[in-house]
Amino acid sequence: MSLFLTNYIHLWIIMEINTLFLISLMSMYSKNFKSTFNFFIIQSISSLMLIMLMMIKNNFYSHTIFNVSLILVFFLKLGIFPFFFWPPLINMNLNWMLIFIMSTSQKLIPLLIFNTFFNQISNPNIMYMIISLSISSSLISTIMNYNETNFKKILTYSSTNHLSWMIFILIFDSSMFFLYFFIYFFSMIFLCLIFNKFKINSFFDLMKFQFFNYNKINFILSLNFLIISALPPFLTFMIKINSMKIMIENYALFSSLSLTLISIFTLIFYMNIIVKLNMLNMMKTKYFHSFKFNIKFNFFSSLLISFLSLFFMFSLFNSIN
């Protein structure tokens, strides 16, 4: 319903109904009352501040401090830098289906309201602030994912990273944003359904797929991680390419370069997950018996794939131009 609404008050009401629905599910299915209460407090504060700013926007819309306050309220609600600390703490105590809702539908309506306010930004300082905070959020979520073994935290930080891209894409092309969001939505639902069914919470739990010979599930999981990682030739990669093209055309070259470099390093830990997911099958081959399959090899092979992807990306970008 929210996709067909443009009035921000209507969107705010739908957003609050969705939040109340999620809090109800959390109270029923989450054993940790503290997480539910913290989520309720954060969402209540951000929603009250948001509706207050909405009501005074006609008088203060051109004021920089109003726009800065509005951006910070949106980023608090979404869990983006500098308010990136609360989503992993809450998601740690949720089941996978609640994490799926937190990562998808709970983010969509605030992004639509955000677009309603900032689709015609005339102040370049406000635009630079949004871009800087989004890049910082993407960078920090990537750093936090390294050496992380808990899959709930990994997918939460991954969601934050994708959210940064969604904000960038939404600023420049809203139709491309919806395409990106729905691809991410369907990839996440497959991952969360499988993780929920097999009680996957850490890298060690991935061995269940190897010992019980779930080759089809291995393939589906690997494919979904590749789609989320935006590796060529998947559609998420093409969307990012077009987004970068639009950013460069709008003189956001530094932003485009920063997000590209961050995406290379996010690709490393996605490839690390895929390698560990298929490790036992790989070790059955003669090649991996003769080769010492260690952490250093994982890192450098992932890095090689990342830079090859970057080379392919710029080759394609030059051909488009």
pLDDT digits (tens, 9 = 90+) for 99-144: 999 998 889 889 988 888 777 666 778 888 888 888 899 899 888 8
How far is 256 from 189, CA to CA, in rounded Å?
29
Three-point CA angle 270, 295, 91, nearest 5°: 40
Residues 285-294: pLDDT tens digits?
544 444 444 4
3-state secondary structure 35-91: HHHHHHHHHHHHHHHHHHHHHCHHHHCCCHHHHHHHHHHHHHHHCCCCCCCHHHHHH
| Cα separation, 171 vs 119, whole angstroms | 6
Helices (H) and strands (E) in the chain, counts: 17, 0
42, pLDDT greater than 50: yes
Res. 191: pLDDT tops 80 = yes
Question: How far is the C-alpha of 111 from the C-alpha of 105, rounded, in Å?
Answer: 10
pLDDT tens-digit profile of 63-91? 778 888 888 999 999 998 888 889 999 99
Check whether 159 has a pLDDT greater than 70: yes
The model's pTM:
0.82
Task: Please say if the pLDDT value at position 262 is more than 90.
Answer: no
Q: Is 60 exceeded by the pLDDT of residue 280?
A: no
